[in-house]
Structure 1
Amino acid sequence: MSSTTLPLLFINLGGEMLYILDQRLRAQNIPVDKAKKVMNDIITTMFNKKFLEELFKPQELYSKKALRTVFDRLAHASIMRLNQASMDKLYDLMTMAFKYQVLLCPRPRDILLVSFNHMDAIREFVKDTPCILAQVDNTFQQLIKMYTPLPSGEFQLIRQTLLIFFQDMHIRVSIFLKDKVQNSNGRFVLPISGPIPHGTQIPGVIRMYSCTGEETSTVLFNNAGNYAPAVCEGSFELFGDRITKLGNNMYSVCRPVETHMSGTSKHSSQNTKVKLAPNPLAKEELNLLATLMGGLDVQKNADSGFRVNLFATDEEEEEALISRPDELSYGFINIQATKDQTANAELAKIMGEFSEPQESPDQSPSVSSKGDDLLAMMDGL
């Protein structure tokens, strides 16, 4: 797995979250000043310098529950509030939209194009706020510096890491179903025809090489598709526009979006019980969460909060909350987002509990310790 995937995953999911929230704030006729404050507060937290320093360090992806917790805290970094059902739907839309975009990329390097499109959209949200815009621009420069020099093989590894992260997520989205880009089981319909990426050849040939790099044999196979010749490099700007239009259309106010758990994923989650192995990244995960939740300067706001509903009516939201499978519910602990020495001491104490215990000779390596999984331990506090 690639150790440089986390920043792309976070920024793209964050971009999708901002698309959705922007549309819902408009749909619910939230006053412009409050809506702008919500977007500014979330983007300020998302692009906090200290947080990004942790994010851009080479590291493996965090667990799904840890990442979900980060976005739950991020969505509530302002006066806006979402209940559990709306937060579930928000996260479902974020993950499925980005998963579809990754699958649409003609070549692995185009994941960077998707990221740049999200960054451009985020810049547009804060174009009238210079201090926040500077934060976004700084992150944009970090993306360019970190990812443009990477070879194609590294981007292929990044793509594989993202697909592994998304492989068990098969949430059915009404718009995807209506547009026939998703099957009833939640899996996407991928085209097998169309233009091929620049610098690649039409599929249909398998070449075998010796250990010295010499081609030893060639096997032809039927690709079953209708592929156009390779297009020039600049033509992939159209791909970026296509992704941008996908986001704008998907989250349009006039197109209600519903999400449903597919029967396949629900069945597998109910019947597959996996014993989690000790997580060596537990301390790093907690450090990242502490940076986001406990190390930021948050001004106490006198403005009254308001609730945003991602469903058409309150009744639909309540029904979704009741019907949500128990295994998909997430528990959270409250961490005060201020520079509180007592809170920091508590975080340090919690991190200390992640030290690997000394195993007795008769203890099986598969036995879970108290700190096996970050969020499981946090839920139990």
Structure 2
Amino acid sequence: MSSRTLPLLFINLGGEMLYILDQRLRAQNIPADKAKKVMNDIITTMFNKKFLEELFKPQELYSKEALRTVFDRLAHASIMRLNQASMDKLYDLMTMAFKYQVLLCPRPRDILLVTFNHMDAIRGFVKDTPCILAQVDETYQQLMEMYTLLPSGQFQLVRQTLLIFFQDMHIRVSIFLKDKVQNSNGRFVLPISGPVPHGTQIPGSIRMYSCTGEETGRLQFRNGGNYTAAVCEGSFELFGDRVTKLGTNMYSVCRPVETHIAGTSKHSAQHAKVNLAPNPLAKEELNLLAKLMGGLEVHKAGGNAESGFRVNLFATDEEEEEALISRPDELSYGFINIQATKDQTANAELAKIMGEFSGSRESPERSPSDCSKGDDLLAMMDGL
């Protein structure tokens, strides 16, 4: 597992989220000033300096549930609101699009090129806002410093870590199904032809070596594809559409996009229960409780002169309601009813409970030694 995967995962998923939201804002004829504010607010939060400092620290990936919580908060960092069904669809589209891009990379290092494509598109969204553009450019520089000199073996670990993260996600997306790049079971159809990456040979040979390193034999086998050798290194044109379009906006042409969890209801339950304990929302709920009991003031969108608005990722409100009703129970977050009082005993008990969460990450896969002494990504996003 690579400890340098989280920034790439976050930025690429964030890029896909911005593509989708931009398309939906235009499709629903949201006024240009409100749409621009939504995009600017989300990008400002996404590329906040302190947030990125925490993000770029070497660390293991968050659990699927914790990462979903991060993007839930990021999507609601502006006056726009999504209901639960639309947020589910948004996250499914984000994850499946980036999964497909990772699978199509001819070599692990090309994941960085996909990331740069996303960054270029994000720069385009804020090209008229210099202060936000400066945040994006600073992140661009951080990516260059961290990843351009990373050896190929480390990129292979990054790719392997991403594939492990995505391996149980088989959401069917209508665009992929229509383009015949995804099967009915949600698995992708990968090409078996075209140029191989620079520095690699066309598959089809098995070589045997002696203990001294001398080649002692060679066997040939059918590779099942139509591969060609690369001409030179570093050229996007070598791989045609397989790399030049990875990370670009596939929603630039308005097409209806539907998502479905592949498999039976049992598989859906398994898809939902990727991480059961502990609940990464526990700290969020305790923070809310602290606010209600006399802590920080909670500001709601719509509570000021600039009212919020709702965005629907479905074609109609009826489809969104049907998706919400048919949503598996395992995907629903629970709610707790609490008594908001100023009682000192309750405050002391709350402080004791919250102390048990301090210094621990939302992801149960981390050891205590991996924990940051400062705010975690979720708590930091609350303060932005």
Alignment partner, residue 315 of structure 1? 318
Instruction: Please give the alpha-carbon distance, in whole angstroms, between the structure 2 residues aligned to 1:276 and 1:249.
Output: 31
* Aligned mates of 2:277, 2:166 — CA distance in 1: 21
d(CA) in 1 for partners of 2:111, 2:335: 31
State the 1:122 CA deviation: 0.4
Q: Counterpart of 1:267? A: 266
Q: Tell me what 2:290 maps to.
A: none
Q: CA RMSD in A?
A: 3.7
Q: Which residue of 1 aligns with 2:43?
A: 43
Structure 1 match to 2:136: 136
Cα offset, 1:332, TM superposition: 7.6
Q: Distance in 2 between the 1:355 and 1:254 partners?
A: 45
Shift in Å at residue 89 of structure 1?
Answer: 0.3
CA distance in 2, matches of 1:349, 1:246: 46
TM-score, structure 2 length as denominator? Answer: 0.78
Distance 1:286 1:217 in 2: 60
**CA displacement at 1:81 relative to structure 2:** 0.2
Q: Which structure 2 segments of 5+ residues have no match? A: 288-294, 337-346, 361-375, 377-384
Query: 1:175 corresponds to which residue?
Result: 175
Corresponding position of 1:78 = 78
TM-score (structure 1 length as normaliser): 0.79
Q: Take 2:355 and 2:211, find their aligned partners in 1: how far apart are those partners?
A: 48
The amino acid across from 1:78 in the alignment is S
Q: What per-residue deviation string (whole Å, max 9, x for no partner) do you get for residues 305-336 of structure 1?
A: 00000001000000011112222334589xxx
Partner residue of 2:235? 235
Local SS of the residue matching 2:30: coil
Q: CA separation of 1:150/1:251 partners in 2, compared to 1, >3 Å: closer, same or farther?
A: same
Equivalent residues of 2:42, 2:74 under 8 A apart:
yes
Matched letter for residue 196 of structure 2: I
Aligned pairs, how many? 341
Check if 1:352 corresponds to 2:356.
yes
1:57/1:240 Cα in 2 relative to 1: closer, same or farther (>3 Å)?
Answer: farther
Deviations 1:126-184 (A, max 9, x none): 11111111110011000010001111111111111101100000000001000100000
Residue aligned with 1:233, SS: coil
1:73: Cα distance to partner? Answer: 0.2
Matched to 1:162, the amino acid is: L
In structure 2, relative to structure 1, the CA distance for the partners of 1:43 and 1:309 (3 Å cut) is: same
For each residue in 1:5-62, what CA deviation from the matched residue of structure 2 results, as whole angstroms up to 9, or x when unmatched?
0000000000000000001000011111100000000000001111111111111111
The one-letter amino acid paired with 2:165 is F
Q: Which residue of 2 aligns with 1:52?
A: 52
CA shift for structure 1 position 355: 7.6
Task: Write the mapping of 1:113-152 to structure 2, written as runs, cut at 5 A.
Answer: 113-152=113-152
1:195–1:230 Cα contact (<8 Å) kept? yes
Task: Tell me the alpha carbon deviations over residues 270-294 of structure 1, each in whole angstroms, 9 at most, x when there is no partner.
Answer: 3699896988xx8xx979xx9xxx9
Separation in 1 of the partners of 2:175 and 2:93?
Answer: 11
